Structures are given as C-alpha cells and as structure tokens.
Amino acid sequence: MKKYFLISLSAAFLVVLLVACNNSNQQKDKAYFVTSNLPLAYIIREITGDSASVVSIMSPGESEHTFSPSPNDIKTLSNAKGVFYVSEHLDGWTVNLDRKDKYSLLDILPKEILLNYSHFHSEESNHSNKEESVDPHFWLDPIAVKAIVPQLATILSRLNKVDSAKYLQNAELLIQKLNSLNSEIQSMIQPYKGRSVMLFHPSFLYFLKQYELNYAGAIEESPGKEPTARFLKELIERIGQLGILTLYIEPQLPDKSIKPVLESAGLKFLTLDPLGGYPGRDNYFDLIRFNARNITKGFN
C-alpha cells in the first residue's frame, strides 16, 4: 500500500510538472507587445485576445506628460515584437527608441478625425506650435478608436503571422463592441447635449466633440504650468456666466494649489480619468463608461 501511494504521488507530481512546463512554454511562445500607456494596451488586448502578452510601460497614476522610462522599462521594450505609442509630442521618450517596429497610433488615425487644440484654445494658449497643437487623446472617443482598428489589426497580424486570422476576427468583434459602447454613451449623454464642461486639463476634447458637449475651457492648458491670477479671474467669470457647477480633475495631475480658489467660486469636483488602471476602470469599455457617468453627474 505504501509503495502504491508513493508511485501515485510521483505520478501526480509528474503531471503537475508537465502542466507547469507546458504553460511556461505557451507563455514563451506568445507574441509580446508593449504600449506607452494603459488605454493602448486595453485596445490592443481586445484584438490579440489571449494569444499575446500586451504590457503598458506606464503604471496607473503616472502622467504621459512627465513620464520617463527607467532602465527596467527599456529592458522590457527590448523583447517586444512591436512597440505602440500615441505620438512623439505626447510620448516624447519614444523618439529615442532606435527600432523600426514602433508605431504611432495617431499616425493611423484618419486626418478628418484629428482635432487641433487651436480650435478650442485662446490666442494665449501654450499650444502654438503647429505640430504640437494636434490633440493626441483620440482614444477617449470610441468612434476614433474604431477608425484605427482595421489598420492596427493589420500591423499586429504582420508582426505575428501565426495568429493573424484570430487578430482580424477579433478586430471585427471589437468594431461591433465599440459601436455598442458608442450607442450606450450617446443615450447616457443625450439629455445633456449642448451643456458646457470645464476641464482641469484638455484631455477630453474628442469625447466632448463626439457627444456634442461644449468645451468651456481648462485650468491647465499645459501640464505643470499653473494659470495666472488674471486667467483664473476670467475663468471664474466664465464659469458664472455659463452656470457651470463642476470642475473635472484628473488623478494623474496635481491640483492642490488650484482647488481652494475654485472651491470659493462654488465649484464641486469630479474625476475624469484619461488613462485608467484603477478598479472599475481597468479595461477600455469600463474606462469610457466611468468618464461618461461622471460627466453626467457633474450636471446635477
């Protein structure tokens, strides 16, 4: 009996070992892609499914505007089949990556969808450079994301031919899901169309345009540059004229020096998150729903 027990135990151990080795080999066989931020990782995972490992260099709470990759980040990038970023004017660190397989998703966004900061900002805006004035935050509009899916799937398929058919099939499903998400957000925003929205930083212009909300201005047009007293005075006057109740802040940007001034103007604060990574907004669809819900809360 004891001998039989030992044989059975050894067999069970061998099975566990074989399964572990098989899983390990499967992980090694997976294509490996790296993105500059979490939303890009969310989008690409929808196309690759479980057949690839997709990693974001940035962690929750980090801002693209101030991010700088560590030596470990560079090592992570070195093993990737492809690196995906937004734009060198947003993900500036990508300029120094000496590799052919890096892809700017803003470059594959149709020109007619691209938004320009100068269409929204005053003459005193810091976005005066023609190239830098292009708004890179396209992923906050599901229809803009839908526009890049076919070409993005083609790029991923070219980088990993083994799973090409799966990627193209998943891309079709993603387009359907984005259409459904857009309809859901349209219904949510419908009662508030035409209302004005005041932002801490102008990350949500694509979202506002898509859902027919008015952009009333931003506290910081450029991250880290605090507004002047004159700018704040004019902004508070505009807030009163438009009947704005809420300022939407972002978890990645500091706002402690501004809050007391705006609280005195009677504003309440709600979070809009352009990047996600937190519970309840750790995939693309939940991130967009989170922001849509908070925008509607700000009107009540």
**What separation, in Å, do the N-terminal and C-terminal C-alpha atoms of the chain show?**
74
| 214-231: b (≥16 Cβ within 10 Å) or e | ebbbbbbbebeeebeeee
In this structure, the answer to whether residues 177 and 227 fall within a common structural domain is no
Q: What is the pLDDT of residue 7?
A: 46
Lowest mean pLDDT among 112-116, 166-170, 186-190, 229-233: 229-233
Question: Residue 214 — very low, low, confident or very high, per pLDDT cuts 50/70/90?
Answer: very high
* Nearest alpha-carbon partner for 218 in 229, 206, 204, 237: 204
- Span 54-86, pLDDT tens digits: 999 999 988 887 888 888 888 888 889 999 999
Helix axes 164-189, 142-159, angle to 10 degrees: 170
Whole-number mean pLDDT of the chain? 85
Give me the torsion for CA of 91, 92, 93, 96, rounded to 10°: 130
* pLDDT: which is higher, 61 or 110: 110
Q: What is the pLDDT of residue 14?
A: 41
Structure tokens at 281: 């907004």
User: Which of 184, 207, 235 is the last residue before a domain boundary?
Assistant: 184
In this structure, the answer to whether residues 247 and 137 fall within a common structural domain is no
In this structure, the answer to whether residues 276 and 174 fall within a common structural domain is no
- Span 283-297, pLDDT tens digits: 999 999 999 999 999
**Owning domain of residue 282:** 187-297
What's the number of domains the chain is made of? 2
